[in-house]
Amino acid sequence: MTSLESSEKPMRAQVEELVFSLQDQIVSALETLDPNAPKFKRDSWVRTQGGRGQSCVFACPADDPSIVPESVLEKAGVNISVVHGVLPPAAIKQMRADHTSMPLPDRPDGLPFFAAGISLVIHPRNPHAPTVHANYRYFEITEPGEKDQANSEESKLLAWWFGGGCDLTPSYLYEEDAIHFHSTLKTACDKHGSQLYPSFKEWCDEYFYIPHRNETRGIGGIFFDDLNEGPHARLHSPNSADAAPRPTSPAEIFSFIQDLGNAFIPSYVPILQKRNSLPFTPLERRWQLLRRGRYVEFNLVYDRGTKFGLMTPGARIESILMSLPETARWEYMSELGQEEGTEEAKLIQVLKKPKEWV
């Protein structure tokens, strides 16, 4: 996939090029997998408060619920945004809570920001094919200045960081799929330091936890935030006695993000190809919809990105809620997943006690 050479371009421009390229390649790979399905809808937009983006969304709803479309995907979105503006005090407060390692000053008029990233969620139709999520982003906070300079590349940087991750959410557990997914991510991480995958895998299991259900959303992957040149709460300092190599400069961290973005297709598409045509029963579909209900619960109640997005002026609500499945289900005291020895219970065991897959 994408491989950008080291560049003298500002980091903003490099990240923008990367996310547009990744989006194009991921959408093309998914469309190639199912050539008879409708194409992704490509919706380019301009943000009034500053910036632009493109949402690529797949949906194939049937007017008659008794008719099940034959597409591999049920709903999917691969969205990119490159936006700038001023964070209001409420958003700064939320950001300060989420990024304690980078204290931000109080500004009654807000703080200028720049953000660029790619965010995707794929919900396949077949219950044996897992849902996947990935998000990679770059953020800058700058000092307020003259109106025409507040979001320019010359503004004084108060903070910058990269964040992101990729995680798998199956309804039915195939251990070989989990091993393949985690192994592909680990290979991409290990090029940049041996401490990255184990640290970010553990963080992923912690982040995608649903407290009121006492289970994780899925079988994990990696999750990280606040990655910059400074000390990191999850990683050894480069200057410590037990230091392991890790990316610290903007160029090194950008290279790490590139490799993770390039790992998405090989980590997920082979699994989708293997599982999308397996036969399934009405009970398995019912279980899939119950698991999607859990997905909705996490995204609306706990997900930091959803909360922050809804607080950002000019937010595109449709893009923020793109991650939600087309159909989900809730049952009162459902017995599914409770009976020992069933495939549904096998998944629940792993969700309640995350495994080391590689």
Q: Which residues contact 341 (CB under 8 A, 6 or more apart)?
A: none
Return the number of other C-beta atoms located less than 10 Å from residue 231's C-beta: 14
Burial profile 75-104: b = 16 or more Cβ within 10 angstroms, e = fewer = bbbbbbbbbbbbbbeebbebbeeebeebee
Strands (E), 170-312: 209-210, 215-216, 220-227
Please give the Cα distance from 324 to 295 (Å, whole number).
Answer: 8
Could you say which of 84, 123, 128, 133 is catalytic? 133
Taking alpha carbons only, the member of 92, 81, 90 closest to residue 47 is 81
Closest to 182 measured CA to CA, from 162, 205, 163 = 205
Q: Which of 220, 181, 182, 186 is nearest to 204 (CA)?
A: 220
Q: Active-site residue 133, yes or no?
A: yes
| Cα four-point dihedral sign 84, 90, 91, 95 | positive
Active site members? 133
